[in-house]
Chains A and B, each alone.
Chain A
């Protein structure tokens, strides 16, 4: 089984719908992250969590929310999806010193 599992792998949704992307990990890491990748290649940080009771905004948090349900689970929600949120979304985990970032396989989200 993968260390970091994201579901779904692909999703098409309509403008205005609420959607949740889920991430679970077996690395035992405290830290979890959500990134967005657009066709221009770069990874942009949406939200991150250093432990179950800690949630922090990243550089592009507007229009997104997260929930850290347990050490191993970190979900990303789009409350009202819009077409410019069409992108590839990655969940990642790391140890407390910032080493060993491990990424999931990504969720390709299309908002029509």
Chain B
């Protein structure tokens, strides 16, 4: 089955700096990679996703890059703000085996004012 590893598990940055979270996946058949943000007391919410036919996708201050050859993908947050503080999860989906997501272990991002 698919295995998704996420690093780092915790990340502390100064407000205004950039943050990068990295994930690797094991199954080359995976073709969809969403990122979720979980704020305190809430469930995870989709913030950005990328499909395997695209190398990069941006949405304002967040971007995701995908390297299919190396089987890794990353979340980039620029100009971080205190409200970016949350737990972030990456996930990977194979186009078979029920099309289910496999989640990474999560990264706790703390943005210090």
Contact = CB atoms under 8 A, between A and B. Distances in A.
The answer to whether A binds B is: yes
Interface of A: 4, 40-43, 48, 50, 90, 92, 94, 96-106
Given A42-B105, A98-B98, A98-B100, A105 B46 contact: no
If over half of A's interface residues share one DSSP class (helix, strand or loop), that class is named, otherwise mixed; here it is loop
Contacts of B45: 103
Interface residues of B, number: 25
Question: Would you call the interface of chain B mostly helix, strand, loop, or mixed?
Answer: strand
14 contacts: A4-B43, A42-B103, A42-B106, A43-B44, A43-B106, A50-B98, A94-B101, A98-B101, A99-B49, A101-B91, A101-B101, A103-B43, A103-B44, A106-B42
B43 A106 contact: yes
Contacts of B106: 41-43
B9 interface: yes
